[in-house]
Amino acid sequence: MGKKKLKDRSLPYLMILPSVILLLGIFGYPILKVFMLSLQNYNYADYANKGFAGLENFRKIFTEDTVIKESLVFSLKWVVSEVGLQLVFGMILALILNARFKGRGAVRALALIPWAVSGVLTTMLWMLILNQSIGLVNQLLIRFGSMPGEVPAWLANTGLIFPSIVVIELWRGIPFFAITLLAAMQGIPSDVYEACDIDGAGKTARFRYITLPYLKETIVLTTLLRAIWEFNSTDMIFTLTNGGPVNMTTTLPIYMLKTAVVSGNYGYGSALGVIAFVILLVFAVLYMKASRFGGEDNE
Amino acid sequence: MNKRRKIIEKIFLIYLPLTVMMLFVLIPFVWALVTSFKTPEAITGTEISLLPHPAVFDNYIKVWKTNKFSTYFINSLLVCTAALIVIVLCSVLNGYALARFNFKGKKLFMLLLIGTQLMPVIILIIPLFVIFKQIGLINTRWSLIVFYIAMQIPFNSILMKGFVSGIPVSIEEAAWVDGAGRVKTMLLVVFPSLLPGIVATGAFAFVSCWNEFMISFSFITSQDLFTIPVALKYMIGEYTIDYGSLAAGSIIALIPPVCLFAYIQKYLISGLGAGAVKG
């Protein structure tokens, strides 16, 4: 009996061991390495002077670099507009999908498909819609009387690029919000609504006084989580605009990617990474707090 | 009177917004599908046709053979399948440990699982590139397989924890009483009941690996090893873009995730509700 107990005690550790080693190797050690690299001059264009540089990279970032400011401002604008709009439209979609109507099962499955589409494929699908010369939108505009030479360049015009990429990312982001909100809505006990019906409350009152309070926790968690992901997301913008026109759509991660992977300046890119890490840490701590991770019970 | 009001209300509150939403969601898919069957002249022409006429299969043949999507498809398939096997194995072990045991450091392990999911991949690319280069993994399929395993373990373990919790402990206890050990019980009793969860987890992991772009784009340099997302990216990097091939390539890339999504979908709503996190 005692032997079995001892075996039982070490068993969970044996089970998680491979994953712990892998996660520490692929996530833990590299994070330490980013901090080390950020203090180095490590640039393929200046390889002769490779070596320890102290806080030189950070000095440059805070005093000379203008792109970092632009990218931080754009990142903020991007995260706020995406998360805000995804929440509003995700809520509308979830409310509709939670109502009773014919063909609801099929509609649910179809409406949520963009969730499974990658950032790169989103770029491809929307290029075919918004491309200036062959895109569906401009073809329709020409059909309804616009001159072929005057149709807007949705993906190149400096005034149109922001709304364009916001709509594209919404296409992919709304389903996630809708799915999580729908799951939470299904957890609301139906007798609460029935009591509300007896009291003669209207649809707006039902939403305001029952649905919304029940969904509060889900809304807070999903919003924080989504903010982190939108901040981190790079695939769609990078493949669609490459951060342009004139750095207009360069988020901090895209700036990092272009500095390190495209231009080969690993030291400076790592310093940018450290800054991104610190910003995310704040969000991550907020998320952990909101999900009551430190509490008694995390089931 | 009241009935008529109800119908009108239903139209404006449900059917109308639903139609708009569905058009927004579906048009990009439909248009890519239509474009993929068009001739180059029909694509660049000003005449809009919602159905391709003549409908041709040339774009698919071209993208599969000339643009070497046959190679990229196999590359993606190899990398994703190899990663998938290890991901599912590790997730079952982690999920079981988390659902069935109380052990010291359990919270720390959960913190590791959730924390790694909040980390942007982009920060990891720089140090991992340097490390992988030192050990000769850069520009090999292994670099992708190893990273995808690590990337997918956290979410799928949490998902699996939910599936294990759903299996009543009593059936395991019955096996112990009969004298079976923990491991034997796991293999003979837990594993079969866990099968639907394993398939769902596998589908999730496959779709995520199939869609991954950044790491593949950064770590793979030879064209022979490209995965599908990277190949698509290079198609729009070219000077003149062949939109017909692009559309056909996109449809090919879409088929596996969309088919698997049909299966995942029913687990998605309950899975996300169970507290597993993943965008």
pLDDT tens readout for residues A80-120: 999 999 999 999 999 999 988 888 888 888 888 998 899 99
Domain CATH number, residue B199: 1.10.3720.10
For chain A, counts of helices (H) and of strands (E): 14, 2
Q: Is residue B110 domain-resident?
A: yes
Residues of chain A with C-beta less than 8 angstroms from the C-beta of B151: 26
Interface test with B, best of A27, A263, A270 (most B CBs within 10 A): A27
Distance from CA of A128 to the nearest CA of B (A): 7
Residue of chain A whose Cα is closest to the Cα of B214: A235
Residues B118 and B219 occupy one common structural domain: yes
Is B167 a residue whose pLDDT tops 70? yes
Q: Check residue B42 and give its pLDDT.
A: 85
Same domain for B207 and B111: yes
- Three-class SS state of A52: strand
Side-chain-side CA neighbours of B260 within 13 Å: the count stands at 21
Scan for tokens 């969860």, then name that residue.
Answer: B197
Amino acid at B124: L
% of chain A residues with pLDDT over 70: 95
What domains does chain A contain, in order, with CATH numbers? 60-290 (1.10.3720.10)
Q: How confident is the model at residue A143 (pLDDT cuts 50, 70, 90)?
A: confident
Answer yes or no: do B103 and B142 share one domain. yes
What's the pLDDT at A296?
A: 42
Beta bridge partners of residue B55, listed in sequence order: none
Domain that holds residue B235: 60-273
Say whether B122 and A108 touch across the interface (CB within 8 A): no
Domain total of chain B: 2
Nearest C-alpha neighbor of B247 from the set A243, A148, A131: A131
Residue B214 falls inside a structural domain: yes
Give the residue from B118, B208, B235, B278 with the most A CB atoms within 10 Å of its CB, the best one to mutate: B118
Residues in chain A: 299
Interface list for B 176-235 with A (CB within 8 A): 181-182, 207, 210-214, 217-218, 229, 232-233
Decide if pLDDT at A262 tops 70.
yes
Specify the higher pLDDT residue, B278 or A153. Answer: A153
pLDDT in tens, B221-233: 999 999 999 999 9
Decide if A119 touches B, using CB distance below 8 A: yes
For residues B83 and B202, what is the distance between their CA atoms, to the nearest angstrom? Answer: 10
The band of B191, judged by pLDDT with boundaries at 50, 70 and 90, is confident
pLDDT tens column, A158-217: 999 999 999 999 999 998 889 889 888 888 888 888 877 777 778 888 888 888 888 888
Residues B148 and B185 in one domain: yes
B14 lies in the same domain as B126: no
> Inter-chain contact A183–B269, Cβ cutoff 8 Å?
yes
Residue B127 and residue B224 in one domain: yes
Nearest to B208 by CA among B147, B158, B251, B139: B147
pLDDT of the residue at B159: 86
Does one domain contain both B17 and B65?
A: no
Average pLDDT over residues B24-46: 90
Q: Do A183 and B246 touch (CB under 8 A)?
A: no
Residues B123 and B162 in one domain: yes
Tell me how far apart the alpha carbons of residues B272 and A176 are, in angstroms, rounded to a whole number.
Answer: 10
The structure tokens listed for B172 are 């395991």
- B91, B278 in Cβ contact below 8 A? no
Average pLDDT rounded to a whole number, residues B113-135: 89
Q: How confident is the model at residue A297 (pLDDT cuts 50, 70, 90)?
A: very low
Query: Same structural domain for residues B6 and B87?
Result: no
Residues of B in contact with A126 (CB under 8 A): 28
Nearest CA in chain A to B227: A120
